[in-house]
Structures are given as structure tokens and as C-alpha cells.
């Protein structure tokens, strides 16, 4: 197994605490090379138990998302002159030059994309119009993967540890997002402190109506863009590289100070969830989840889903009548003994643990 640090951009290796040396959960079920959710490769798997097709288009996969790249990762990409990153550099340079969604803190989605993302239904993985601008259509890969942001670093369609795995990776996303925010602000403090003094780094809470420029995929008005970038208009590429240099200069304990109490709390949560995802234990008492979705298949087997619309468990049909014996009134071992005595059947603890991780069986 690889370490958590090895799953993240290399810039973080000198900044993140020792916890990130721990082994990362290996998500063997989420296969990007041969997409586990693609219509072309998921024919033999159970991908829906609610009557809605959740399979992805093979030419989008899960990349129907527009990443929000912090200034220092943009600078790292622009500073990488390797052949492997040439296409990624070209695309980010083109994006910067368009001035759409470009600010001293982030290069992010246009406002129109965000509006569609928030208001569209059942589009994820299925709409080519929502495909990531950094997606490599020919190979099905990512042109900026070495410099990906928090969402792209932590999303999986399926988790080996089920709900426990998803909770861990979502917690890691929270930590990474906090780090991105603070490190990008640190770079701004060195290069453009007035951006922070004016409060431009604060997230917009209220929904802002789309402008004519937003609707027409046009850059902001020159005076609006000039007010945002001050004296760096026309020198955005150099600005981002300088942000990368500013973050590279952060000492080993610098990030911990920037994240403060929030970072300390999130790290403790991460440590607890990492243990739950990598060293699970079977609860003493379990019950069949009344909110689990049940779908009987044509071959007599049953598909059960709970924690994710993308990940269901298929079991022999007769197993269902055994699972409902878990009512939460008796310990697991007592229920297993009852099944052995009265049904001449048993459910192995490893199977029960897997069903618990998928939240088919839950603690009362």
C-alpha cells in the first residue's frame, strides 16, 4: 500500500504532518483505467438498486466536475516544464488567458457552469457538456493530475471500506480544502495583501445572478478584471509562479500554524476515521437497515444498497431472509447461533462486517 502523501501533489510532502505517512486505503473497486461505472465495463456488476441508471458515459467517467485550482498549484503546474505536463500547461495557460473564472486566488469554474452544476439533475458522469476542461478525451486521463485539487484527490465512485471509506476520504477532502484556502491566502499575503484586506478571499454565500458576460462565456469587463488583478494584469502567469515559490518557502511547521485549531481538529478526525477504514471491527449488535434499498434480480439474487447510489451488494436470494433476523435486539453471535440451530445456515463474520461497512446492517 502507498502512503497518503503519495496520493497527493508532491508539494505537500514537506508541509503535511507525519500522519500523512500512514498507508492510504487502496480503492481497488474504483478503477479509473477501466472505469467501474462505465457502460462499457460495468455490465456484470450491480450499479443501481433504485431503478435509476447511474452508469457513466465512457467519454466522461466521473470527470463531470470543474476543479477549483489554488494559485500555488497553478504556479507549480506552470513551472513544470516536463513533456508529460505539456498538455496540462497548455490548457491552464489557455484558461488563464481567457480571464474567465480567473482570480489571484483560484482558477475555477465559470459562473454558468456552477449554476448548471447546482441545478441540473442526474447529470453526474453522464453529460458531456459538464466534462472537465482538463480531461484527456483520447486517453480518458487527466492532463493536470499531478497538480489536482482536493475534490479530485479524494473522490471515488466505490469504496473498499464502504461507508467508512467514504467518511475517511470526505474528511481528507475537508482537510485538503482548508489547506488550499490557507496556503493560497498565504501566497496572497506575500504578493497581493490588498486582495485579503478587501475581503476578496471570502466565499460568496448569497447566490449572485448571472451577468451577460457569464451567459455568453465572455471574460469580465476590462475595468472589473483590472480592479481584481491590480498591477498584475498581463502578468498572471508570473504571479501564479510566484505563489508557488511562496508556498514552497513555507517551513515544515508553517502549515500547522496556518490551519490552527481547525486543522488540529480535522487531523484528529482523520486519524479516527483512518483507523475505522483500515482496521474495522464488527459491532456487537446489528440490525437490518430499514432504509436499505432492496431489488430482486431476474436470477433470484438480491441487490442491496444503502450508503451510495453507485455501490450495491449482490447476494443470493436466500440470504435476505437471514439478514432480516438481525433486529438489533440480540448480539450478533446470538443471532448467528439462532440461524445455525433453526435455519441450518450461518453468516461468516467477514460477510457481516462487509454488510455493515455498506450499511446494510447498522448498529441500533
- What are 73-98's pLDDT values in tens digits? 999 999 999 999 999 999 999 999 99
Q: What is the mean pLDDT of residues 218-225?
A: 96
pLDDT value at position 155? 97
Radius of gyration of the chain (CA): 24
Section 149-161 average pLDDT = 96
138 and 259 Cβ atoms separated by less than 8 Å: no
pLDDT score of 1 more than 80: no
Asked if residue 44 has pLDDT above 70, the reply is: no
What is the Cβ-side half-sphere exposure of residue 356, based on CA atoms within 13 angstroms? 23
Query: How much of the chain exceeds pLDDT 90, in percent?
Result: 90
What's the average model confidence in pLDDT over 308-314? 91
Indicate the average pLDDT of the chain: 94
**Distances 71 to 9, 164, 180, 246 between C-alpha atoms, Å:** 14, 32, 9, 10
Average pLDDT over residues 123-129: 95
pLDDT grade, residue 43 (50/70/90)? very low
Do the beta carbons of residue 346 and residue 339 sit within 8 Å? yes
- What residues contact 271, with CB distance under 8 A and at least 6 apart? 19
Residue of higher predicted confidence among 45 and 25: 25
Quote the distance between the C-alpha of residue 305 and its chain's center. 20
Domain ranges of the chain: 5-278, 285-362
The tens digit of pLDDT for each residue in 266-290 reads 999 999 999 999 999 999 999 999 9
- The string of pLDDT tens digits covering residues 159-213 is 999 999 999 999 999 999 999 999 999 999 999 999 999 999 987 766 789 999 9
285-362 maps to CATH 2.60.40: no
Q: Looking at residue 170, what is its pLDDT?
A: 98
pLDDT score for 186: 98
**How large is the average pLDDT for residues 11-31?**
95
pLDDT tens, position by position, 95-118: 999 999 999 999 999 999 999 999
What is the number of alpha carbons within 13 Å of residue 240 lying toward its C-beta? 26
Q: Please compute the mean of the pLDDT values over residues 329-336 and round it to a whole number.
A: 98
Amino acid at each position: 500500500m502507498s502512503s497518503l502523501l503519495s496520493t497527493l501533489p508532491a508539494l505537500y510532502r514537506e508541509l503535511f504532518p507525519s500522519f500523512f505517512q500512514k498507508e492510504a486505503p487502496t480503492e481497488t473497486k474504483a478503477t479509473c483505467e477501466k472505469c467501474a461505472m462505465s457502460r462499457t465495463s460495468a455490465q456484470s456488476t450491480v450499479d443501481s438498486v433504485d431503478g435509476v441508471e447511474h452508469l457513466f458515459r465512457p467519454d466522461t467517467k466521473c470527470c463531470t466536475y470543474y476543479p477549483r485550482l489554488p494559485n500555488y498549484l497553478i504556479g507549480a503546474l506552470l513551472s513544470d516544464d516536463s513533456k508529460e505536463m505539456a498538455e496540462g500547461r497548455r490548457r491552464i495557460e489557455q484558461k488563464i488567458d481567457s480571464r474567465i473564472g480567473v482570480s489571484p486566488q483560484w482558477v475555477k469554474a465559470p459562473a454558468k457552469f456552477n449554476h448548471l452544476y447546482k441545478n441540473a439533475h442526474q447529470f453526474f458522469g453522464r453529460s458531456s457538456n459538464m466534462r472537465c476542461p482538463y480531461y484527456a478525451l483520447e486517453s480518458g486521463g487527466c492532463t493536470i493530475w499531478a497538480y489536482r485539487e482536493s475534490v479530485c484527490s479524494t473522490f471515488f465512485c466505490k469504496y473498499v471500506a464502504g461507508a467508512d471509506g467514504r467518511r475517511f476520504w470526505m474528511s481528507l477532502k475537508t482537510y485538503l480544502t482548508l489547506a488550499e484556502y490557507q496556503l493560497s491566502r498565504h501566497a496572497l499575503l506575500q504578493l497581493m495583501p490588498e486582495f485579503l484586506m478587501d475581503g476578496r478571499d471570502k466565499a460568496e454565500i448569497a447566490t449572485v445572478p448571472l451577468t451577460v458576460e457569464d451567459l455568453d462565456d465572455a471574460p469580465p469587463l476590462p475595468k472589473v478584471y483590472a480592479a481584481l488583478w491590480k498591477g498584475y494584469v498581463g502578468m498572471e502567469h508570473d504571479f501564479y509562479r510566484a505563489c508557488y515559490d511562496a508556498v514552497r518557502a513555507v517551513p515544515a511547521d508553517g502549515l500547522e500554524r496556518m490551519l490552527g485549531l481547525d486543522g488540529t481538529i480535522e487531523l484528529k478526525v482523520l486519524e479516527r476515521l483512518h483507523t475505522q477504514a483500515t482496521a474495522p471491527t464488527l459491532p456487537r449488535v446489528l440490525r437490518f437497515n430499514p432504509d436499505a434499498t432492496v431489488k430482486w434480480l431476474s436470477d433470484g439474487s438480491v441487490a442491496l444498497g444503502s450508503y451510495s447510489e453507485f455501490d450495491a451488494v449482490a447476494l443470493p436470494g436466500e440470504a435476505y431472509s437471514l439478514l432480516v433476523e438481525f433486529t438489533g435486539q440480540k448480539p450478533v453471535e446470538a443471532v448467528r447461533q439462532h440461524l445455525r440451530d433453526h435455519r441450518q445456515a450461518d453468516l461468516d463474520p467477514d460477510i457481516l462486517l462487509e454488510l455493515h461497512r455498506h450499511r446494510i446492517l447498522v448498529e441500533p
